[in-house]
Structure 1
Amino acid sequence: MNSPRDGWLSGLLALLSGALMVPSFAPFHLYPLAVLSLLGFYRALRGRTGADAFRLGWLFGVALFGVGVSWVRISLNEFGNMPALIANLLMLLFVAAMALYYGLCAWLIRLLEQWLANRAAPVWAGPLLVFPALWVLVEWLRGWLFTGFPWLLAGNGQLDGPLAGLAPVLGVHGLSLAVAVSAGLLWGLLHWSGQPRRRAAAGLALLWLFAAMLGLLQWTRPAPAAEQRSLQVSLIQGNVDQAVKWDADGLMPTLDIYLTLTRAHLDSDLIVWPETAIPEFFHRVEEPLLTSLGETARAAGAEVVIGLPVMIPDGRYYNALVSLGSAEDQYFKRHLVPFGEFLPFKRQLRPLIDWFEVPMSDFSRGRAERPLLRVGDWPAGASICYEAVFPEEVREALPEAAFLINVSNDAWFGDSLAPHQHLQFARLRALETGRWLVRATNTGISAIIDPHGRVQARLPLFERAALTGTLEARAGATPFVRFGSRPILAGAGLMLLAALLLGARGRSEHAGGEPGQAG
């Protein structure tokens, strides 16, 4: 029987482990902490069952999201004009709700491990099969249920470590599985003895070495020589204050900022403005501004991509990217932010959301089958803000896309962790797809990212400037582009099946103890 003191210590360990995950992400990049975080999570669950296990998992999630996404309050309070008390309460409610995923994960882990223990399954079945598989499957569930929130997945923080070599093959969920398996192997290294301990050490070393070697491979290639492969690109970071961005009096000064910076860089092949850089509908600025800008770009041999809202004749409007120059095209954002860009359960929640004064918060969802935007002679993979967090949606532009364009307005998050985290997730999309990615944001961090996920040039937060560099049009497809997350999800399912078969056959490699503890 567990004592109250043991329960208190397990709860504290769960909280500390959840908070420990956050420094593995940007801007800290302490990627080994993700493994230690999951090791602590797994240790906190030892000997716990049922509601107790669920509580510990929920506490882990509360710490992870409470530290990692506390910037939600900034959007609600400072820019949504919501009273501070209400904004903080809603942020806490969001954190508590997201933490339920980890409560579910913990409950399932202990349920299956107890079943395995009753059947004297091998000591390694829990930490090396059940735990990693369920961790990945619950993260995957979090990435799509209720429109999804795949922020702070365990694999996101591995971009600058040896495990990153797995990203072009298995995607972010493959990185998460590698982190969870590493935690399980580290558990065995610390708690087993003799040959099992040596095997755990060898497995951990081989996993990280294999991933690092994969990182040396080139999965894509330069586009055919008949196409222009090297492009000069300029990203315009207007640094327009979110508090005045949508004021009627702010339109002309905003346009002046972007036009002045653009005219100074018409020698570039591609010029990209951020999300909703023009805070006005397309049809209201088309004739006085966009038509002449397109003509100027064509005369200079440049292509210009601009973020702005587009309204269609039936009154629906979209968060859009518009390309001007030798070719004209539009992309409408397909994955909208709940409560920020559209209102779920509109009739029931309207009185509450009236407090949250978000301009143009009733966007319609784009219906394009694939997120492609024609930019001159090149098809580009397009994503707007939040869409860059969804790997399966970004990969839908491949292999046709020669490069990726992501635009965002991270001014909503102020000077917080969010802009750094968002850039990191965009970098991971470049690595998964083997494409250059250019990212233009209103207040930063704008960046030019190579196919290995490395930032080649960047602008810091809250600086008004243009970032100029080069990118290379590329062709080909990584294994992740070809198969997506299906292999890793199937692998997680097979790991669970293997654990169930081990339990059903009643095999045991170690006498005594419960799964994951020293035999």
Structure 2
Amino acid sequence: MTGADIPIPAADEPGRLFGRLSGWIILLSGWRRALAAFLAGALATLALPPYDFFAVCLISFPVLVWLIDGAVDTADGGWLRRALPAAAVGWWFGFGYFVSGLWWVGAALLVDAQNFAWALPLAVLGLPAFLAFFYALATLVARLLWSDGLGRIFALAFGFGLAEWLRSFLFTGFPWNAIGYAAMPVPLLMQSDAVVGLYGMNALAVLVFAAPALLADRRHRRTGLAIALALVAAHVGFGLYRLNNAPTTAEEAAGNGVRMRIVQPSIAQTAKWDNAARRAIFDKHIALTETPPKPGEPKPSVIVWPETSIPYILTQTPEALARIGEALSDGQVLLAGAVREEQGTGDAGPLYYNSIYAINDRGEITDAVDKVHLVPFGEYLPLERWLRALGLQEVVEMPGGFTMATNRRSLKVNETLSFLPLICYEAIFPSELAYIGPRAAAILNVTNDAWYGDTPGPYQHFRQAQLRAVEQGLPVIRAANNGLSAIVDPYGRITDGLALDAVGVVDASLPSGVDPFWGTPPGPVQAWGILTLLLVISCGFTVSSGRRFD
């Protein structure tokens, strides 16, 4: 049978067109099927920052559905063998998605090319090849639940929802560029995240993105498209409702009287490693800190420097602390990223932490918090004993790498104000934001994205931090060495910010937080409620079609 042989009524011209297209894709095999899956996955990354062209997913996912339709093994080899061709399609789709979406990771290895250029293929191709197995699992699970018509759309949504949830914590977790982000490019479309969370959005986004595949079907076409349109209407409608009932500007939302300043120095990553440049780097931060506010604006009460912005071990450099105290006016507090040193036990050498210090106007350290979720191979070396024996080391130049903090706690700014600290990519983990200590008035995200230059990486990183504000009901204060630095209100709206590679400061009032939609941020209950519903519906279609699960 060819695509032209698919029986569609002559009066149904759109159905005939999509029927021929789907028929042609279904009949692809071998390298042609793999290439089509790879290109479909790569195309989907145009829905991510900085492009935000989410409509491409309405092409990528229907193609994926049709490729899975054709990915069958008729040999009598059991359920796994019959599902493996679909898993291969998912792997190629994921490989295209992650190569196209994460190629910029390799830029970090070129900062010290002499030592790390050899690992470039591992970063640009190896990491995507590994992550693609999660999407292979998604399509394998979907294929086991596969049925004609609408049922397979629900099955694919369940498969991807499950896979993205697993990707958030297996092997330390890496939920970067989760599919749900493609459905939330602007604040209007971010508000649903407050209700179902990222992991619920992953599944629902795939359900909508894959629905156009039904245009080639005669069964359930209208029902499936109606469900997708209803979800889109609810998504947009809830966003309109929530934003219309929110303060019209972040300034109106500022009820705590806290005035913030974010310092963005844009120090080149190569310079940060140059010991001779440390004084110039420090002086640049100080000069930006001492910049007078615009005429008529009050002085900031809290100043934020980016991740590892202090180029000294402060406990060994009292003169640096004294200079910070001189730069701060009465009552001002500096929150700065720095490397913290602590003496190890016994004969062990010093331990180093990626930290945030709170420093008062007398140059005294009043509080410090350490990073909990370190970057594998970047800040520490997994399986250290064996990998160091092979001559490998972490990318960050630190003896023995960084040490992981045992718990996350709020950072005390002063007697009445505390923040939830997230250092660098800790902001991409919505399920890891539980903390101890006083209640936080905002999320503080300090980072250094200069590793990745002018690539999509910093934009993708910022978007993920932006969504944490919506989920938590807290404003985000984001200080990035070279951008993107901004203050984001609890609805995901940017109050003020600086573009990538700009040098300057952001002065703005700190927006007040809002109560999360459920009283607490969305989590496993919402995600698994949606996944369970999708699974039950998928199984219902499978049973009604007469298929067996084995």
| Rounded Cα–Cα distance in structure 2 between residues aligned with 1:421 and 1:80 | 24
**Among 58, 64, 85, the residue aligned to 1:41:** 64
Q: Deviations over 1:154-178 (max 9, x none)?
A: 1112223564221011111222122
For residue 354 of structure 1, report the CA deviation from its aligned partner: 3.8
Find the counterpart in structure 1 of residue 284 from structure 2. Answer: 257
For residue 363 of structure 1, report the CA deviation from its aligned partner: 0.7
> Residues 322-337 of structure 1: matches in 2 within 5 Å?
322-325=357-360, 328-337=366-375
For residue 443 of structure 1, report the CA deviation from its aligned partner: 1.4
Whether contact under 8 Å (1:430, 1:436) holds in the other structure is: yes
Matching residue's letter, 1:209: A
For residue 488 of structure 1, report the CA deviation from its aligned partner: 1.2
For residue 47 of structure 1, report the CA deviation from its aligned partner: 2.8
Q: Deviations over 1:182-216 (max 9, x none)?
A: 1343322x13337x322223222211111222222
Find the counterpart in structure 2 of residue 62 from structure 1. Answer: 95
Matching residue's letter, 1:242: Q
SS in 1 for 2:269: coil
For residue 398 of structure 1, report the CA deviation from its aligned partner: 11
For residue 78 of structure 1, report the CA deviation from its aligned partner: 2.8
**Among 335, 339, 351, the residue aligned to 1:316:** 351
**Among 483, 496, 502, the residue aligned to 2:535:** 496
**Among 418, 425, 431, the residue aligned to 1:379:** 418
**Among 247, 257, 279, the residue aligned to 2:311:** 279
Matching residue's letter, 1:23: L
SS in 1 for 2:528: helix
| Rounded Cα–Cα distance in structure 1 between residues aligned with 2:319 and 2:537 | 65
Whether contact under 8 Å (1:81, 1:357) holds in the other structure is: no
Matching residue's letter, 1:213: G
| Rounded Cα–Cα distance in structure 1 between residues aligned with 2:162 and 2:46 | 23
For residue 87 of structure 1, report the CA deviation from its aligned partner: 1.8
Find the counterpart in structure 2 of residue 108 from structure 1. Answer: 141
Distance 1:480 1:90, change over 3 A: farther
> Residues 188-207 of structure 1: matches in 2 within 5 Å?
188=214, 190-193=215-218, 196-207=220-231
For residue 289 of structure 1, report the CA deviation from its aligned partner: 2.2
| Rounded Cα–Cα distance in structure 1 between residues aligned with 2:56 and 2:403 | 40
Whether contact under 8 Å (1:82, 1:355) holds in the other structure is: no
**Among 324, 331, 335, the residue aligned to 1:293:** 324
For residue 148 of structure 1, report the CA deviation from its aligned partner: 0.6
| Rounded Cα–Cα distance in structure 1 between residues aligned with 2:426 and 2:412 | 18
| Rounded Cα–Cα distance in structure 2 between residues aligned with 1:295 and 1:464 | 22
| Rounded Cα–Cα distance in structure 2 between residues aligned with 1:485 and 1:398 | 23
Distance 1:214 1:79, change over 3 A: farther
Q: Number of aligned pairs? A: 495
Pairing 1:171–2:203 present:
no
For residue 394 of structure 1, report the CA deviation from its aligned partner: 3.0
Q: Deviations over 1:10-46 (max 9, x none)?
A: 2232112111121111111112323432222222211
> Residues 93-242 of structure 1: matches in 2 within 5 Å?
93-113=126-146, 117=147, 123-128=149-154, 130-160=155-185, 163-188=189-214, 190-193=215-218, 196-215=220-239, 216-217=241-242, 229-242=256-269
SS in 1 for 2:544: coil
SS in 1 for 2:271: coil
Find the counterpart in structure 2 of residue 302 from structure 1. Answer: 332
Whether contact under 8 Å (1:400, 1:475) holds in the other structure is: no
For residue 79 of structure 1, report the CA deviation from its aligned partner: 3.3
| Rounded Cα–Cα distance in structure 1 between residues aligned with 2:180 and 2:436 | 22
> Residues 391-410 of structure 1: matches in 2 within 5 Å?
391-394=430-433, 396=435, 400-410=439-449
Pairing 1:344–2:382 present:
yes
Pairing 1:72–2:92 present:
no
| Rounded Cα–Cα distance in structure 2 between residues aligned with 1:87 and 1:167 | 35
| Rounded Cα–Cα distance in structure 1 between residues aligned with 2:114 and 2:524 | 39
> Residues 417-432 of structure 1: matches in 2 within 5 Å?
417-432=456-471
Distance 1:86 1:165, change over 3 A: closer
Matching residue's letter, 1:210: A
Matching residue's letter, 1:454: R
**Among 439, 454, 458, the residue aligned to 2:493:** 454
Matching residue's letter, 1:156: Y
SS in 1 for 2:53: coil
For residue 8 of structure 1, report the CA deviation from its aligned partner: 3.8
Matching residue's letter, 1:46: D
Whether contact under 8 Å (2:447, 2:481) holds in the other structure is: yes
For residue 293 of structure 1, report the CA deviation from its aligned partner: 2.6
TM-score (norm 1): 0.87
Q: Deviations over 1:117-155 (max 9, x none)?
A: 5xxxx7422212x21111111011111100011011011
Matching residue's letter, 2:382: P
| Rounded Cα–Cα distance in structure 2 between residues aligned with 1:455 and 1:397 | 28
Distance 1:95 1:351, change over 3 A: farther
| Rounded Cα–Cα distance in structure 2 between residues aligned with 1:454 and 1:112 | 40
Larger relative contact order (CA 8 Å, sep ≥ 6): 1
Find the counterpart in structure 1 of residue 477 from structure 2. Answer: 438
SS in 2 for 1:479: coil
**Which runs of 4 or more aligned residues in structure 1 lie more than 6 Å from their structure 2 counterparts after TM superposition?**
1-4, 218-223, 512-515
For residue 82 of structure 1, report the CA deviation from its aligned partner: 3.4
Deviates more, 1:412-421 or 1:324-333: 324-333
| Rounded Cα–Cα distance in structure 1 between residues aligned with 2:300 and 2:478 | 16
Whether contact under 8 Å (1:275, 1:441) holds in the other structure is: yes
Deviates more, 1:440-449 or 1:135-144: 440-449
Distance 1:386 1:208, change over 3 A: same
Q: Which runs of 5+ in 1 are unaligned?
A: none
For residue 397 of structure 1, report the CA deviation from its aligned partner: 7.3
**Among 446, 454, 459, the residue aligned to 1:415:** 454
